[in-house]
Amino acid sequence: MCRLFGFRSEVPAAVHPSLVTEKNSLLQQSREHKDGWGIATYDTGARPLVAHGLGPAHADPDFERVSSRVSSRTVVAHIRLASVGAVDKRNTHPFTYGHWCFVHNGTVKNFAQHKAEVEALIRPDLRAFIHGSTDTERCFYLFLTRLAELQSLDGPACVEKVACALAETMGRVSALTDVPGENRSSMNFLVTNGDLMVATRRNRTLFLSDTAPETGKRPHRNVWTPPKPGTQLEQFVLASEQLSGEDHWHPIDEENIVGVDSRLVLHQWKVQDLCTKP
């Protein structure tokens, strides 16, 4: 299993507390999830800048060094506990293609038996970019295959089409790999192009906050309540686990997809309501 973190903000901001100093920061979680880490940030260019490490984040000085220097409108971070694929840089999240960045918390069931079938669903030119052995990387390129049928992979993206492509990826993979009556594949995916950010929840926990991680400053509400779809946010923060004991973390419901568009307007869907093709 793994843990993921996503941050999207109106203005560049530091995320060092979320990654290092919070009570349940990713650094603390890496004592269990010890098989590598990755941090992706978006600066002036369209493509993300990515740093990776193969050891546990809590024992790797580079993780804290990179975390302390990050100040960005968009950040994705991941710590890995290997379930499919060896501990190898090619298997370390985030995975990127052009300006797209993708991480996964979970495991595709029976992946070894169905690897070839999953790969067959990926567009051949995209399949050629697969370098590692994980279920995640194949889910990423399947997502890109589905998204390319809805819109161009370059340029501005539609948040609902991204959510639809994620739902279709989940549906196609689970149809191949899951066995009725057995535990389902866990597919918490998070994807961004630097402007929008979308995540799925399936068989793993996922939490949303709109509190700035660098200051703990809350939005302008007397009592914190979960933001409603249609709200334009100042910050959008997603994490596999609550990063602190504060009350500003809201659990995303099972089989839901949540995200923000390029204007930081919040969206949420039930997977079953999106175009989940068989």
pLDDT tens track for 165-199: 999 999 999 999 999 988 999 999 999 999 999 99
Q: Tell me the Cα Rg of the chain.
A: 17
Nearest CA to 102 out of 163, 190, 165 is that of: 190
**What's the pTM?**
0.94
Nearest-5° Cα angle at 269, 264 to 272? 155
Residues in the chain, pLDDT under 70: 1, 44-45, 82, 85-87, 212-224, 246, 276-278
Q: Give φ, ψ of 61 to 5 degrees.
A: -60, -25
129 neighbors 122 (Cβ within 8 angstroms): no
CA distance 211 to 218: 5
14 neighbors 72 (Cβ within 8 angstroms): no
State residue 240's pLDDT score: 95
Domains of the chain: 2-273 (3.60.20.10)
State residue 205's pLDDT score: 97
Residue 146, helix vs strand vs coil:
helix
Nearest CA to 176 out of 107, 117, 112 is that of: 117
Nearest CA to 59 out of 26, 82, 87, 31 is that of: 31
State residue 185's pLDDT score: 96
Cα torsion angle, 191, 194, 197, 203, sign: positive
110-132, pLDDT tens digit by residue? 999 999 999 999 999 999 999 99
